Structure 1
Amino acid sequence: MSKAQHIMLGKGLADLPFGATRDEVEAVLGAPEEVDSVDLGDEESIAWHYWDLGISLNFDESENYQLCTIEVASPEVTLFGKKLIGMKRDEAVAFLDTQKIGPSKPETARGVAYEDVELTLWFNGGEVAEIQWSRM
């Protein structure tokens, strides 16, 4: 996987398309550093963590365990040509509000969601710490 990656809303990350199998992901990134299995009540979700790359991937039972959600913390990743990790909350929201992806909705004090495109920004100390998006 190349160091610089760009987020493709609804489609995945440059080298990792939504719908990829775990074998296909492993062929690109290698074995995950950590694997979690989470019981969501009505289904299982398996999370693969690549801490050194700043990427976590989810494979949900309802999606036949294909890649369905990506979360990044790598400052190299771009969205609409901008590196958002480390950007101040107001600046990131103002930038995304110009991208015609639908309205932002505060999730909590720690997050802002763009439900129309299945995108959530997570903040730590007032700065973007993680970007999470899913297949639409």
Structure 2
Amino acid sequence: MKENEIQLGTGISNIYFGFSIDQVKDIMGEPEEIEESDEDDEFEHRAFNYWEKGYSFFFDREDDYRLSCIQTEDDNVQLFNVNVIQKSTEEIKDLLQKNNLKDYETEKLETGELRWSFEQEMLDLYFEDDKLIAINFGVFINDDLEVQWPSEGLA
């Protein structure tokens, strides 16, 4: 994978879903912050935040703390070979439709952000003032709710 290229269901750059905490730290270094989920959260997890680099990596307890989700605000991140952060909703909609991502739900969040959720693709896009500001994407899950770990990077 190219640097900063999101591969849906797989990961980003040379970081793949299914990686251990140590594998991510070997690539990214020590996180600036580690968050533990609250006891009342539906999914127990740890989040490793790299604020300066614009990344957060999520490791679910249920999956033995393997990497299952990534959130990024990195201006250099690419989706379908296009830099997408700060693109308008119209530009993003065109890009997604060209790549057959058409089925999504829209929600206005309490924070004022607009979220587009692509359930099948495990992708959430966050917009503010008509510009894409963050992307959250995860490992694919099949219809039986089984995690579909990518084969890349796990050898």
Same fold? TM cut 0.5? yes
Amino acid at match of 1:117: E
CA contact (8 A) 1:97 1:104 kept: no
Confirm whether residue 88 of structure 1 aligns to residue 88 of structure 2. yes
How many residues align? The count is 134
* Corresponding residue number in structure 1 for 2:21: 22
- Return the TM-score normalized by structure 2: 0.81
Report the identity percentage.
27
What do residues 48-98 of structure 1 show as CA deviations (whole Å, max 9, x unaligned)? 100111001100111111100001101101000011100011221221122
* Paired position in structure 2 for 1:75: 75
Q: Which runs of 5+ in 2 are unaligned?
A: 141-155
Q: Structure 2 CA distance, aligned partners of 1:46 and 1:10?
A: 19
- Structure 1 segments, 4+ long, off by >4 Å, are none
Structure 1 contact 101–116 (Cα < 8 Å) conserved: no
Residue matched to 1:128: 132
Alignment pair present for 1:61 and 2:61: yes
Q: 1:16 is aligned with what amino acid? A: I
What is the RMSD computed on CA atoms of the aligned residues?
1.5
Residue type at the aligned position of 1:8: Q
Structure 1 counterpart SS, 2:37 = strand
Name the CA distance, whole Å, in 2 between partners of 1:41 and 1:56: 18
- In the alignment, what sits opposite 1:112? 116
Structure exhibiting the larger radius of gyration computed from Cα positions:
2
Q: Report the CA distance shift for 1:61/1:102 in structure 2 as closer, same or farther (over 3 A).
A: farther
Q: Contact between 2:84 and 2:132, CA under 8 Å: does it hold in 1?
A: yes
